[in-house]
């Protein structure tokens, strides 16, 4: 897959994930790039974070990403034609203390990459809201839930296990308000 100035973060993520997975490295997209994908681009991420399951040599990462035109600068991989970069934060792949993460497949142009699910992306943003009272993360969790089908019961149980039902209720209230505002928005006529 050739990347260009017109490539989206989704294009780059699928190219990187597919390339790594074809070389025997299970890489799972997480973080802001998933938010960008699951909100249909209403959120813009400047990076694509992958957690690699298992061990991989630095030279193997350099070679795999080099085949796509990326070069390593410190802990980032940059591409001359795109404005965002690729990083590999240390694992394990988790949402808070939950290590039982089942990735989903993202596909484009015959390439497939693994990513956290919309539900897990929503939980990831809620974890930042719960732990740091990050209001932007709450808004992003709401955007994900508006654009994608998420498992609200799983999110409720996860919130309850973490002692965060009050914050979960705040999330539900914000989601209801967002859905109501969207439903009331008048249609544009051409």
Domain residue limits at 59: 9-116
Give the count of domains, the chain.
2
* 15 and 84 assigned to the same domain: yes
Angle of helix 165-184 versus helix 118-132 axis, rounded to 10: 120
Q: Is the pLDDT of residue 190 over 70?
A: no
CB 19 within 8 A of CB 115: no
Please tell me whether residues 93 and 18 are part of one structural domain. yes
Identify the CATH number of the domain in which residue 27 sits: 3.30.460.40
Beta strands in the chain (DSSP E): 26-30, 47-53, 71-73, 76-78, 85-87, 104-108, 111-115
Residue 112 in domain? yes
Whether residues 138 and 173 share a domain: the answer is: yes
Among 116, 142, 174, the domain boundary falls at: 116
48 and 123 both lie in a single domain:
no
Rounded to whole angstroms, how far apart are CA atoms 11 and 2? 9
Band (183; pLDDT cuts 50, 70, 90): confident
Looking at the structure, do residues 78 and 139 belong to the same domain, yes or no? no
Same-domain check for residues 92 and 133: no
Summarize the confidence of residues 3-23 as an average pLDDT.
94
Quick check: is 189 in a domain?
A: no
What are the tens digits of pLDDT across the range 90-121?
999 999 889 999 999 999 989 999 999 999 99
């Amino acid at each position: 897959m050739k990347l260009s100035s017109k490539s989206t973060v989704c294009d780059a993520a699928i190219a990187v994930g597919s390339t790594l997975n074809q070389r025997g490295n299970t890489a799972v997209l997480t973080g802001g790039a998933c938010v960008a994908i699951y909100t249909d681009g209403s959120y813009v991420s400047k990076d694509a974070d992958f957690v690699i399951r298992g061990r991989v040599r630095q030279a193997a990462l350099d070679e795999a990403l080099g085949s796509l035109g990326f070069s390593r600068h410190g802990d980032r991989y940059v591409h001359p034609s795109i404005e965002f970069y690729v990083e590999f934060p240390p694992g394990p792949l988790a949402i808070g203390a939950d290590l039982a993460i089942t990735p989903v497949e993202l596909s484009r142009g015959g390439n497939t990459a693994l990513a956290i699910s919309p539900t897990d992306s929503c939980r990831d943003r809620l974890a930042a809201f719960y732990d740091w009272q990050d209001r932007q993360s709450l808004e992003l969790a709401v955007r994900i839930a508006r654009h994608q089908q998420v498992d609200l019961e799983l999110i409720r149980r996860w919130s309850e296990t973490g002692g965060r039902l009050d914050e979960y209720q705040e999330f539900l209230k914000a989601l209801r308000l967002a859905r109501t505002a969207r439903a009331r928005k008048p249609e544009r006529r051409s």
